[in-house]
Structure 1
Amino acid sequence: MTYSCFSLEIAGHIAHIRFNRPEKANSMTMAFWRELPEAVNRISNSAEARVIVISAEGKHFTSGMDISVFMDGGLDGDPQNPQVSAEAFRYKIRALQETFSALERARQPVLAAIQGGAIGAGVDLATACDCRYASADAFFAVQETAIGMTADVGTFPRLVRLIPEGWARQMAYTAERLPAAKAKEIGLVNEVFDTPEALLEGVMAIARKIAAHSPLAVTGCKAMANYARDHSTADALDYIAVWNAAMLRPDDIREAYLARGEKREPVFDDLKPLKR
Structure 2
Amino acid sequence: MTDKTLLLSNDRGVLTITVNRPNALNALNKEVLTELRALLEDPLPLNGSDLRGVILTGAGERAFVAGADIREMSVMTPDEGEAFGALGQRVTRLFEELPVPVIACVSGYALGGGCELAMASDFIYATSSAVFGQPEVSLGLIPGFGGCARLHHLVGPGWAKELIYTGRKIDAIEARRIGLVNRVFDTREEMLDSAAATLAEIATRSPVAVALCKSAIGDSVGRATTDALAIEKAAFRKTFMTGDMREGTAAFLAKRPPSFPGH
Cα distance change on mapping 1:88 and 1:24 into 2, 3 Å: closer
- Give the percent of matched residue pairs that are identical in Structure 1 and Structure 2: 29
SS in 1 for 2:143: coil
Describe how 1:258-273 pairs up with structure 2 within 5 A: 258=251, 261-262=255-256, 264=257, 266-270=258-262
Cα distance change on mapping 1:92 and 1:30 into 2, 3 Å: closer
* Root-mean-square deviation over aligned CA pairs: 2.2
Please state if 1:242 is matched with 2:245: no
Q: Is the 8 A contact 2:29 2:69 kept in 1?
A: yes
What does residue 16 of structure 1 align with?
16
- 2 CA distance for matches of 1:22 and 1:96? 20
What does residue 204 of structure 2 align with?
212
Describe how 1:102-141 pairs up with structure 2 within 5 A: 102-141=94-133
- 1 CA distance for matches of 2:27 and 2:192? 20
What does residue 89 of structure 2 align with?
97
> Which whole-Å deviations, capped at 9, do the CAs of 1:242-267 have from their partners, x for residues lacking one?
233234356323533527833x5x43
> Which whole-Å deviations, capped at 9, do the CAs of 1:87-130 have from their partners, x for residues lacking one?
56434422232111111111212110111110110111011111
- 1 CA distance for matches of 2:137 and 2:50? 39
Structure 2 counterpart of 1:74, from 73, 76, 96:
76
One-letter code aligned to 1:225: I
SS in 2 for 1:61: strand
User: Given the two structures, how large is their TM-score scaled by the length of structure 1?
Assistant: 0.85
Cα distance change on mapping 1:217 and 1:91 into 2, 3 Å: same
SS in 2 for 1:129: coil
The Cα of 1:44 is off from its aligned counterpart by 4.6
The Cα of 1:61 is off from its aligned counterpart by 0.7
One-letter code aligned to 1:56: G
Which ranges in structure 2 are unaligned for 5 or more consecutive residues? Answer: none
What does residue 180 of structure 1 align with?
172
- 2 CA distance for matches of 1:51 and 1:123? 20
- 1 CA distance for matches of 2:187 and 2:47? 34
What does residue 2 of structure 1 align with?
2
What does residue 33 of structure 1 align with?
33
Cα distance change on mapping 1:243 and 1:173 into 2, 3 Å: closer
Cα distance change on mapping 1:231 and 1:166 into 2, 3 Å: closer
One-letter code aligned to 1:22: P
- 1 CA distance for matches of 2:262 and 2:243? 13
Which ranges in structure 1 are unaligned for 5 or more consecutive residues? Answer: 76-85, 272-276
- 1 CA distance for matches of 2:23 and 2:166? 27
Cα distance change on mapping 1:236 and 1:217 into 2, 3 Å: same
Cα distance change on mapping 1:30 and 1:193 into 2, 3 Å: same
> Which whole-Å deviations, capped at 9, do the CAs of 1:73-95 have from their partners, x for residues lacking one?
633xxxxxxxxxx4564344222
The Cα of 1:13 is off from its aligned counterpart by 1.9
Cα distance change on mapping 1:170 and 1:246 into 2, 3 Å: closer
What does residue 81 of structure 1 align with?
none
Q: Is the 8 A contact 2:73 2:81 kept in 1?
A: no
> How many residues were matched structurally?
258
Which is greater in Rg?
1
What does residue 186 of structure 2 align with?
194
- 2 CA distance for matches of 1:33 and 1:8? 15
User: Given the two structures, how large is their TM-score scaled by the length of structure 2?
Assistant: 0.89
Please state if 1:170 is matched with 2:180: no
- 1 CA distance for matches of 2:49 and 2:41? 10
